Structure 1
Amino acid sequence: MNNRIIPVSLAISDKEQRLRIEQLISANSMVRLVEDEADEMGVLIYEPGDNVAEDMPHIIQALESGQAEDVYLAGNVADPEILIRAMRSGVREYLKFPVDENDFRAAIVRTAMRSSLGCDEGEKGKIFTLLGSKAGLGSTTLAVSLACALNAREPGRTVLFDLRHPVGEVPYFLDLKYEYTWGDLVHDISRLDATYLRSVMAEHESGLHVLPAPGNAERPSNHNLFLILEQLRSSYDYVVVDTAHTGDDDLPKEIELANSILIAMQLSLPCLARTSRLMDAIRSQDPDADRRMQLVATRVSRNSSIGVSEAAEVLGRQIAWVIPEDGDSVLSSINQGTPLALAYPKSPVSRVIEGIAKSLAPRPVKTRKGFSFGSLFRKKSRGADASDTFAGATL
């Protein structure tokens, strides 16, 4: 990942299992084995033994001080007390003997991602997730227009992530030609870094970056989607996600990680009922999401039989933004493959969406530094005495 090979140190007393892990390391291009007497430690794979009570303080100190980049516990049976103590001290991985190749690779990927994404939360980009209770409410139009409005501030610093299922429609709104999709990222998720991410991006002539959806593909797993979203918000100032709630038991990551959740709706009784159920479903999965949900009424006409205030009363929630009916401009921009904000910048719809952009992201864009894996390189101190030695690794 990112052309950097992660060093791995072994503190394994079981010779057969040690050989097995050495073979896994040799076969994995992401890692390399560290000699027992080397100065670096990298990822330490430790098998708790008879001296675990003496070893653990040294391991924890190495992890907390940065001498160890990460620590994996390994063994046949996990002692609950040891696991609890290790987890409280920052150990996140456990490998069961015999170590499975996929489990080992996944653990290494997680270590690399944690390190590469270890920037301050304030330095990460914001995620704005847009969805509706059903298709046809204008959420994709809203997502594309919002992304364009944000991108206009500093072209190339906003990305539009097409997560619509089963088929994304964002490219039609932008008349966008593309070669790769997020399916390519999922297919080889272990390669995911800033460089690989940029290589699959499509770019609109306005400078807006787009991560298109593959045709009729399964949604990414929650784990893969987490990795993609984290990489996106570490590479861009704003991540706009066009999606739909799946109704699964697990809260979708694009909703869980969103700074703001914009729910498109219309002023009709069936839509109000569906919107209410959608909000209830999201709240039941993540109570914290309630404060991040904001309603956007679309295609609101002056002679609507249900007023905005009435709809807000029914939903028990303020409707944050009201987008007026402007079917001619919207349909014309879609047919042209030109974003509404570019085709009709002075239209009532464009003005409201510009207001949404200013409200969601009021501060000027700040250019952030790109990814660096330099923080992964850790050095351990020399001069450890014999009492600091266990299972073949020196702390």
Structure 2
Amino acid sequence: MLDIKKRVKIDTKDQSLKRKFEYIVNSTGGFEIQPDDDKKPADLLIFELGTDTDHDFHVLQASLQSGTVNDVFLTSEKSDQDLLLQSIRIGAKEFFPQPIKDDEVKQALKKFREGAESGKRLKLGRLINVMGSKGGVGTTTIAVNLAVSLAGITGDNSVALVDMNIATGEIPLFLDIKPGYHWGEISKNITRLDSTFIMNVLSKHSSGIYLFSSPGTPGHEAVSPEAVERLLNIMRRMFDFVVVDCGQRLDKNSQKIHQISDTVLLTAILTVPCIANAKKIFKIYDFWGYPSKGKVKVVVNRYVKNSQLTLRDAEETFGQSILWSFPNDFQTTLAAINQGKPLTVIAPKEEITQSFKKFAATFIDRDQRTTKEERSLFKRWFS
């Protein structure tokens, strides 16, 4: 079988930098450097951004769209967030701040040569979709504290939290965090994204989870279900768990999220309107042809013993057992929300916090119960 090498074109303003890239490419193996006057399409362009970045990005986008180059690695003396975001938008695969590091470039080249993310056959992470039966039942509270509790068991870098409430996402408030990016900014170019770029635009919380926030404003409704699926599937290859706060959405994007989820947690409280609404959602699932009995599990929030409506009443209505019930501790939960902190920080010993920890443990395989050092995603994914 012929050993077909990837064709690489190097375009830098600085000749010494070009020679350095040439040395790294040649020493990596599996590549051939394309001469400057060769007009054939290149598999990879390594390009140095100059002072007129708007012009450079325009040229790069045109080259990608025309097929002159298939993929782009970028480098620049600057490495601010705006430049990174522009790089993401045009579909660059890698970004190397200067001075470049030989090992980082070589690692990226090897990954590209082996087929981007297909080179590592990692088990897909578990996608948990938290869905509200109606507004005000604590969907975001459950999504946030489940994610934090999972991270507390599995260690840093193993859990991601995605806010799919387009215009009303509140997760940053629950965690007192100001994200630099949201998924609406990169979703239009999602087909060209990889795990490296996504990791660069996620916001890390002190609990160890990574947040991908929602746009928080109208105008991103046109994001396609295919883009949402692509984003979440990439994240499943990056994290052991991806927890999605789907809010009360029942649109095409929500349908796609439901289809690819491993588990859907339909959140309810024991009131007649809420149970009636949840039953309607089950009918919608039937209309979608969704296998609700297997993947959809009902969790009850703010559960009070000896209430008029019982867990058994709800189970008879839904035709399935209640997976979990969280005790009613409105005061503690409200304090956590108002302070922008998870329950594990506000009230680590309270019953509500312990309930979340026990619930999270039901999702963890025995071999995942390891220390933070053993479970570092960066060591596992980027090594």
TM-score if structure 2 supplies the norm length?
A: 0.66
Structure 2 residue runs without a partner (length 5+): 1-6, 10-40, 44-62, 73-89, 92-111, 369-374
The one-letter amino acid paired with 2:257 is E
RMSD across aligned positions (CA) = 3.1
* Alpha-carbon distance change, 351 to 283 in structure 1, aligned in 2, over 3 angstroms: farther
Aligned partner of 2:381 in structure 1 is 370
Which range moves more in the overlay, 248-257 or 334-343?
Answer: 248-257
In structure 2, C-alpha distance between the alignment counterparts of 1:209 and 1:265, rounded to whole Å:
26
In structure 2, C-alpha distance between the alignment counterparts of 1:118 and 1:325, rounded to whole Å:
45
Which range moves more in the overlay, 328-337 or 251-260?
Answer: 251-260
Q: How does 1:383-394 map to 2 (within 5 A)?
A: none
Structure 2 contact 285–291 (Cα < 8 Å) conserved = no
In structure 2, C-alpha distance between the alignment counterparts of 1:251 and 1:232, rounded to whole Å:
17
Matched, 1:313 2:316: yes
Aligned partner of 2:67 in structure 1 is 25
Q: How does 1:77-156 map to 2 (within 5 A)?
A: 116-118=116-118, 123-153=123-153, 154-156=155-157
* Alpha-carbon distance change, 23 to 188 in structure 1, aligned in 2, over 3 angstroms: closer
In structure 2, C-alpha distance between the alignment counterparts of 1:143 and 1:23, rounded to whole Å:
39
Structure 1 contact 251–286 (Cα < 8 Å) conserved = no
The one-letter amino acid paired with 1:357 is A
In structure 2, C-alpha distance between the alignment counterparts of 1:158 and 1:179, rounded to whole Å:
19
Bigger radius of gyration among the two? 1
Structure 1 contact 130–262 (Cα < 8 Å) conserved = yes
The one-letter amino acid paired with 2:307 is S
The one-letter amino acid paired with 1:284 is F
Matched, 1:285 2:327: no
Q: How does 1:226-375 map to 2 (within 5 A)?
A: 226-248=229-251, 252-365=255-368, 369-370=380-381
Deviation at 1:249, TM superposition (A): 5.7
In structure 1, C-alpha distance between the alignment counterparts of 2:208 and 2:64, rounded to whole Å:
46
Summarize deviations over 1:175-205 as a string: whole Å, max 9, x none: 0122111112214324411111011111111
Deviation at 1:360, TM superposition (A): 1.6
Deviation at 1:324, TM superposition (A): 1.1
Structure 1 contact 132–264 (Cα < 8 Å) conserved = yes
Specify which structure has the bigger relative contact order, considering alpha-carbon pairs within 8 angstroms and separated by 6 or more residues: 1
Seq. identity, %: 28
In structure 1, C-alpha distance between the alignment counterparts of 2:8 and 2:336, rounded to whole Å:
45
* 3-state SS of 2:365 partner: coil
Summarize deviations over 1:16-59 as a string: whole Å, max 9, x none: xxxxx999321x5528xxxxxxxxxxxxxxxxxxxxxxxxxxxx
Across the two proteins, how many residue pairs are aligned to each other?
A: 279
Structure 2 contact 228–253 (Cα < 8 Å) conserved = no
Runs of 4+ in 1 over 4 A off after TM superposition: 3-8, 119-122
In structure 2, C-alpha distance between the alignment counterparts of 1:323 and 1:4, rounded to whole Å:
56
Deviation at 1:303, TM superposition (A): 3.9
* Alpha-carbon distance change, 266 to 232 in structure 1, aligned in 2, over 3 angstroms: same
* Alpha-carbon distance change, 351 to 215 in structure 1, aligned in 2, over 3 angstroms: same
In structure 2, C-alpha distance between the alignment counterparts of 1:284 and 1:371, rounded to whole Å:
42
Structure 1 residue runs without a partner (length 5+): 9-20, 32-104, 107-111, 373-395
